[in-house]
Amino acid sequence: MKVAIVGAGICGLYLGWKLAERGEEVTVFEKKEKIGKEVCSGLFSERILEFIPESEKLIQNQIESALIHWGPAFGWEGGGRVGVPKRTLKVKFSKKFFVINHFELDRLAASLAEKSGAKIVLNYNVTRKDFVTFQGEFDRIIGCDGAISVVRKNLRLNDPKFYLGIQGFILNPQPKFGGGENFVKLGQRTMGLSGKFREGKKA
């Protein structure tokens, strides 16, 4: 079976890897010039090792609990308004979460997909016209190209709602697991919720 996957993020790459392992003829199309989501690290459950065992080498930190702060006066140390939260609740997770760099995880998944026989086409922005052509060339077309996708538009699905997110880094070198924080901090804000966790050398 010939399969076209639109989007070479972690979902598209993982799917391409597993389908290629089954012997399917897979082509993954990515609009960017290189693989890798250039954002901060993310939190992944322990189950990531069931899906991608090789990702164990990418673990930067392990998160065991969350501190949830209530109160508009709360702020992070080192910048902005700092105050004492009205209430703090500690939630201990039944299973650990891993902090893993998104860029390196994408690169790992791409390598596994290509080794299994999947073809990755970079710098190819799939249009609605391409989608029509693909229908004659491929047996299956799978959309893994995010919320604003050509696949979504072709299926006439409603546009999703978006929420503003601001990313920042605080440089504060600490040992990888020995002396680093093993919890995530969540704080109330006027317009929503803020969060902070330690990557390893960055927070």
118-176 confidence digits (pLDDT tens): 999 999 999 888 988 999 999 999 999 887 788 888 878 877 776 655 555 545 544 44
Residue 162 lies in a domain: no
Ranges of beta strands (E only) in 42-82 are 42-45, 59-70
Q: What pLDDT score does 177 carry?
A: 41
Residues 129 and 52 grouped into a single domain: no
Q: Helix, strand or coil for residue 67?
A: strand
CATH number of the CATH domain containing 7: 3.40.50.720
Residues 48 and 68 grouped into a single domain: yes
Residues 107 and 34 grouped into a single domain: yes
Residues 89 and 134 grouped into a single domain: no
First vs last Cα of the chain: how many Å apart? 45
Q: What pLDDT score does 61 carry?
A: 86
Residues 141 and 54 grouped into a single domain: no
Residue 66 lies in a domain: yes
Dist CA 148 CA 158 (whole Å) = 10
Domain residue limits at 47: 42-99+170-203
Residues 52 and 65 grouped into a single domain: yes
Residues 192 and 109 grouped into a single domain: no
Q: Which residues of the chain have pLDDT under 50?
A: 73-78, 170, 173-179, 202-203
Residues 55 and 149 grouped into a single domain: no
Look-up of token digits 């702020």: 75
Smallest CA-to-CA distance from 197 within 93, 84, 117, 81 is with 93
Q: What pLDDT score does 53 carry?
A: 96
Residue 165 lies in a domain: no
Residues 48 and 137 grouped into a single domain: no
Q: What pLDDT score does 179 carry?
A: 43
The DSSP string of 91-160 is EEEEEEEEEE-HHHHHHHHHHHHHHTT-EEE-S----HHHHHHHHHH-SEEEE-S-SS-HHHHHTTPPPP
Q: What pLDDT score does 160 carry?
A: 75
What b/e readout covers 11-36, taking b as 16+ CB neighbours within 10 angstroms? Answer: bbbbbbbbbbeeebebbbbbeeeebb
Residue 163 lies in a domain: no
Residues 48 and 135 grouped into a single domain: no
Q: What pLDDT score does 124 carry?
A: 95
Residues 25 and 114 grouped into a single domain: yes
Residues 77 and 46 grouped into a single domain: yes
Dist CA 55 CA 176 (whole Å) = 16
**Number of domains the chain is built from:** 2
Residue 12 lies in a domain: yes
**pTM beyond 0.85:** no
Q: Beta strand 183-189 with 140-143: parallel, antiparallel or unpaired?
A: unpaired
Q: What pLDDT score does 123 carry?
A: 95
